[in-house]
Amino acid sequence: MPRRIYRGIYIKRHSPVLDVITHYNRDIIQNNSMEIQPTLINAARIGDTAFLQSILDDGVNVNFSDEKGYTPLIIACYNRQIEAAKLLIESGADVNAADIGGNTALMGVCFKGYPEIADLLIKSGADVNMQHGNGGTALMFATMFGRNDLVQIMLDKGADPQITEFRGLTALDLAIQQGNHQAAQILEKFAQRN
């Protein structure tokens, strides 16, 4: 049977225990959401949308970030939990929130190779040209890690292939450096058309 996380412990889904805890602790959760926020991250990681909805309904900050700057949306996207990502976005999650290194959910999915989540994020307003702490972009992540379907998607959605990272390298330079010939061809064809 599926389980739910509450304050770091697992409880069976639809458990009367959780109902009692939620009923008697609703004020505590709303007034002391710092205790429950790590649980929001864990629920996002495993894609427990029912539990996410219940704690979001209790007023937990959807844009909470942990000590590394990870938000529930970043974690849900990185772990390919698209339904959780949809719920978090519908609940007001910042699609451009970044971790302490400046990495966004879109950068994470371009690194991991999740085009369906990239599409969701972009349709929800994610900045395709946002740069992290070293100047890298989601397009650069897709290029460096051979996510060539995402290279094309990012270009089609307005990613600027001329942006440079901290060493002055573009996405094309990184494709060549990584030996990603397919991405280099995609980027060169894009440059010829534009």
Where do the domains of the chain lie, and which CATH numbers do they carry?
1-94 (1.25.40.20)
Of 169, 88, 156, nearest to 119 by C-alpha is 156
Per-chain mean pLDDT for the chain: 86
More confident of the two residues 28 and 66: 66
DSSP H helices in 32-162: 33-46, 49-57, 72-78, 82-90, 105-112, 115-123, 138-144, 148-156
How does pLDDT run across 82-111, given as a tens digit for each residue?
A: 999 999 999 999 999 999 999 999 999 999
Range name among 40-49, 52-61, 139-148 with the lowest pLDDT average: 52-61
C-alpha torsion angle, residues 162, 118, 43, 75 (rounded to 10): -20
The two structure tokens encoding residue 115: 């085009």
**Rounded to whole angstroms, how far apart are CA atoms 34 and 41?**
12
Backbone angles phi, psi at 10, to 5 degrees: -95, 135
**Rounded to whole angstroms, how far apart are CA atoms 26 and 20?**
10
Backbone angles phi, psi at 11, to 5 degrees: -130, 140
More confident of the two residues 26 and 89: 89
Q: What is the mean pLDDT of residues 14-24?
A: 48
Q: What is the pLDDT of residue 19?
A: 54
**Rounded to whole angstroms, how far apart are CA atoms 191 and 68?**
37
Q: Are 155 and 147 in contact (CB under 8 A)?
A: no
How does pLDDT run across 140-177, given as a tens digit for each residue?
A: 999 999 999 999 999 999 999 999 999 999 999 999 99
